[in-house]
């Protein structure tokens, strides 16, 4: 028998201002806020829970522990354009990672490293041009 397969279920990010971070992840990136308890916010990351936590930031101290959250997308260029229109400033422009996979990087208001990753353009099956 092989060992049980594991999957990432939750990513917790320490934040300095949970309301500011909720506004970024919900309003700018479009994630659904599923709950909030005091200085903790829970967002639906599409099969992964994203938790924004002021207590974690206080416990670890500002800047403790580098992290990157990768958002899988169908069409890096389309998502790049949409996010730029919403005010996101990219740290690394869209580029080829391997073969047909592209990525572009940006940071959230607390400096957490984020990335969009997937095909360069939306596939024809989604109704958009490739």
Alpha carbons 14 and 105: distance in angstroms, whole number: 19
| Single pTM value for the model | 0.68
* Nearest Cα to Cα of residue 57 among 21, 27, 33: 21
Show which of 48, 65, 82 is a domain's final residue.
Answer: 65
The pLDDT profile of the chain, 130 residues, written as one tens digit per residue, is 454 555 667 888 888 889 999 999 999 999 999 999 989 999 999 988 898 988 878 765 554 344 678 888 889 999 999 999 999 999 999 999 888 899 998 989 988 888 888 899 877 654 444 3
Asked whether residue 114 falls in the same domain as residue 75, the answer is: yes
Alpha carbons 123 and 120: distance in angstroms, whole number: 9
Alpha carbons 32 and 42: distance in angstroms, whole number: 9
| Domain span holding position 106 | 66-130
Asked whether residue 96 falls in the same domain as residue 41, the answer is: no
Asked whether residue 99 falls in the same domain as residue 113, the answer is: yes
Asked whether residue 49 falls in the same domain as residue 34, the answer is: yes
Q: What is the pLDDT of residues 27-53, one digit of tens each?
A: 999 999 999 998 999 999 998 889 898
Residue 129: DSSP 8-state: -
């Amino acid at each position: 028998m092989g060992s049980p397969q594991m999957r990432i279920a939750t990513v917790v990010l320490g934040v300095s201002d949970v309301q500011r971070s909720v506004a970024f992840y919900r309003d700018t990136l479009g994630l659904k806020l599923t709950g909030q308890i005091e200085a903790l916010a829970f967002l639906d990351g599409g099969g992964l829970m994203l938790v924004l936590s002021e207590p974690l930031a206080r416990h670890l101290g500002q800047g403790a522990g580098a992290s990157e959250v990768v958002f899988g997308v169908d069409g890096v260029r389309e998502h790049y354009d949409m996010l730029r229109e919403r005010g996101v400033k990219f740290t690394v422009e869209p580029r080829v990672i391997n073969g047909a996979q592209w990525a572009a990087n940006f940071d959230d208001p607390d400096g957490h490293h984020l990335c969009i990753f997937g095909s360069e353009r939306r596939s024809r099956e989604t109704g958009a041009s490739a």
